[in-house]
Chain A
Amino acid sequence: MERPQTEKAKEMLQITGLTHSYADGHRAIDGLDLTVPDGQLLSIVGPSGCGKSTLLRCIAGLLRPTSGTLTLNGAPINGVPDDLAVVFQDYSRSLFPWLTVRDNVALPLRRRGMSRKERRAAAQEALASVGLPDAGRKYPWQLSGGMQQRVSIARALAYRPSLLLMDEPFGSVDAQTREDLEDLVLQVHRTQKITILLVTHDIDESVYVGDRVVVLNRSPARVHADLPVGLPSGRDQIETRGLPQFVQLRAEVGRLVRGGAKVPGAAPASGGRG
């Protein structure tokens, strides 16, 4: 994405000194700082169990941080923010089996004060935008895994959030479906101009999808490295992954995830390419 990402770009999300300890004393996040400019697609990678999901739940207002501040669009996150949606990894548990696909997508729109008719129309539109225009009357459990995750994405999009959080969204689907869904996220980001924060443990995916990759430390989580992804915006599963830049960046991220030292000269948490 060729977006101006200078220091003056509007900040969507600002996290300062975020620390979260669970009741059992386990510290999942320790003094994490992160700033996400408006419109960015940020990949967050880290080793399994490094506190990625905890971070995401703090941003979503589902967990109260032990200390530190989070602001979304300039307003402190205190409870679940209004203009934010989450796509979870486990679509089969996250979709409601007693509702049809369309009603699943339409349900959160009750919070938007829309009429039944408007909700249904918006749900239908969102389903069409993820390539499922005819699935509305089916039940989630009648669809394949990849289609179910598309429904989750449609549900989040219909809600029209300014920030979309995705928690390892493609961890439970096969490789081919995974690539299709990655391209769907890129397409959604391009057409709907929303800020997306994608948490993943897949290094390839973080580089392929992201405008920027943030690598977290092994638990407790802190920002270990922050890399701009200078790949051309029209990404292609075969071509992009074959680019020398991609291969190089993937190797670098891989090294960092395994605990390698920071690259000299890499930008700190402010990120971007400016």
Chain B
Amino acid sequence: MSDKTTPPRGLSRPGKWARGAAGVAVLFLASEALGRAGIVDRSFLPPASSVTARAVELFGDSDFLSNVRVTLTAWALGLAIAVAIAVPLGLLLGSVPAVNTAVRAIVEFLRPIPSVALIPLAGLILGSGLNMEVPLIVYACCWPILFNTMYGLHDVDPLAKETLRSFGFNRMQVLIRVSLRSAAPFIATGVRLSASVALILAVGTEILSGFGDGLGMFIAQAGTVPEGTRDVLAGTVWAGCIGLIIDTVLVQAENRAFRWHLAQRSGAS
């Protein structure tokens, strides 16, 4: 907080990009060499160029794209519902100590259960497709958002609340206009964490549920076909790219929306 002119830490932006690209290139070449050298069977580990070519080819495959659309729909729906549930719940738990104490035990019991462990149960009760995917995603995504909301509320400056209160705003108005706004950067981080969790759950559920549509289904089915490794890996590349794009977009959006938060954190005041 004390140093006003933050010294540039590490590399410049282009420098970072160059290093990142170099890392990708090395991995790509290594995998290419490994695939072509014949150390492992080509049908088990196809060279990187072949996987990449297949991944690009899938871009024009309407069946595959509709699978991706199914996965993304489940992702978006699950994440949106999770936000709609976890943010108000976090506000309630974070601002009313009595409710927090009452709910604590349930939360502490549910939280350690890995969401993936619930897939068979969800399959039994909810069948397949969105009906089952979305509730699982919602369940898994609620936690990071809920905890970050509560953490963010805990961090709200009491003087900021008192200021608005001194202008006659009531508790609810202070909660929305100060606490929620002040906690928003923390909530956004929770949403970003949940966005990754949601993608893992969406693809994972599809892979494990055994039937239906989706990117996970595409990967699972490719795995049952001889010579299918190339499709499995191409599908995985897609999943990775989607995850990367989502994360990048959310990070950028956070930086843009919460410039005030960064400015404060770096002690610009």
Contacts and interface: CB of A to CB of B under 8 A. Distances in A.
B124 interface: no
B30 interface: no
B237 to A, nearest CB: 39
Interface in B147-166: 157, 159-160, 162-166
Interface in A79-98: 80-82, 84-86, 88, 90, 92-94, 96-98
Contact of B261 (A84, A97, A111): A97
B260 A141 contact: yes
Interface in A81-120: 81-82, 84-86, 88, 90, 92-94, 96-98, 107-108, 111
The majority secondary structure among interface residues of chain B is helix
Given A62-B165, A107-B177, A139 B260 contact: yes
Nearest to B162: A62
Closest 10 CB pairs of A and B: A108-B167, A97-B260, A86-B166, A93-B159, A141-B269, A80-B168, A94-B163, A98-B260, A93-B157, A92-B269
A90 B160 CA distance: 10
A86 B261 contact: no
A159 interface: yes
Given A96-B178, A139-B260, A90 B166 contact: no
Given A80-B165, A85-B166, A107-B177, A94 B269 contact: no
A70 interface: no
B35 to A, nearest CB: 51
B163 A88 contact: yes
A60 interface: yes
Interface of A: 60-62, 80-82, 84-86, 88, 90, 92-94, 96-98, 107-108, 111, 139-142, 148, 159
Given A88-B159, A96-B160, A96-B181, A111 B264 contact: no
Given A62-B162, A92-B269, A111 B260 contact: no
Contacts of B181: 96, 98
Interface string B13-50: 00000000000000000000000000000000000000
Contacts of B159: 88, 90, 93-94
Interface string B175-192: 001100110100000000
B157 A111 contact: no
